[in-house]
Every structure is written in C-alpha cells, then in structure tokens.
Amino acid sequence: MTFGAMPCVVLNQIKSIADQCPDDGGFAVFAARAWYRRFEPMARWEGWGNCFEERPIVASDKVIPAFGMKVLPNPATNRLQVIFDVEPIPESRFLLFDLTGTKVLDLPLNSPNSTFDISSLAPGFYFYGVKNRGNFTQKGKITIIR
C-alpha cells in the first residue's frame, strides 16, 4: 500500500522518528516532522514539548545543573537578549534552530547580558539552546515577528 508515491511502511518509519522527543532523537526529529507534514499537512507536534521540562538533562548519567536564564523579548523582532542570573560558563554558546532543525545562529555568550541581531532571520518559530562543555544546559523556543 502506498500513500501518494510513498510506501506506507516508509511513511510509518518517518512518523516514528517524528514522534520522538528531539532530546532523544536529535534534530533528525525535526527533519522527519517536516517530511511527514508533506504527506499529512495537519500533523502537529509541540517542538521540544515537555520532554525537557519533565526530566533532567543528562550526559554520561550525570545531571548537568541548569542556571537561571531569560531570553527576551518573546516574541522578538530584530534583537534578542539573553540574560543570566550568574556569569555564563566560559565557552558557552547560544544556538538557534529553525523548525527543520537547521542551525541558524551559533554565537558566544561572553557576559551575563548578551544582545544578538536577529533582523536577518525570517519570522517564525525557533528553538534555542545554550551549550557549554559539549552539553545543552538550557533549551526553549521563541517566536520572531515583524
């Protein structure tokens, strides 16, 4: 049986990847979601959803302590401000991904208050992460409007 030109077994495999938590399945999850929507335009997922809010972020079975951080404003227009409660860990980076999981920004966080120009980005929904020492410690989503 086929769905359009796509065999149902392949479409089911794509959906099983799309249904995963992006923290477990990586950014392939977002690519699978984008692909699956070509065949099921009404399919919806919550992006990272609750998979980060309900369980700790772990690496090598060790909990990575998260620190207080705000990303403002949300929704944003041309500038995005990242504010920490404490000095960020050296070599911390702010990463921004579009809905397909493509990295659109990768910028250093050198102070507790960093402002980034996002005027070149298209309006839409984005996912952000703060990465340090090879691990994500903060994750969330923002909307860019014009």
Distance, C-alpha 9 to centroid of its chain: 28
Q: Which of 25, 76, 74 is nearest to 48 (CA)?
A: 25
- Residue intervals of the chain classified under CATH 2.60.40.3080 are 56-144
Burial 89-115 (b: 16+ CB within 10 A, else e): eeebebbbbbbebeeebeeebeeeebe
What is the number of helices (H) and of strands (E) in the chain? 3, 11
Contacts of 34 by beta carbon, 8 Å cutoff, 6+ apart: 99, 100
DSSP bridge pairs for 108: 93
**What fold, for 56-144?**
Immunoglobulin-like (2.60.40)
Distance, C-alpha 136 to centroid of its chain: 10
For 120-143, write each residue's pLDDT tens digit: 999 999 988 888 777 777 788 899
For 37-79, write each residue's pLDDT tens digit: 888 888 777 655 545 443 333 333 333 445 678 899 989 999 9
Q: Which of 80, 88, 84, 73 is nearest to 117 (CA)?
A: 80
Q: Which of 109, 117, 65 is nearest to 87 (CA)?
A: 109
Task: Report the chain's terminal Cα–Cα distance, integer Å.
Answer: 44
The overall average pLDDT reported for the chain is 76
Mean pLDDT of 28-39: 79
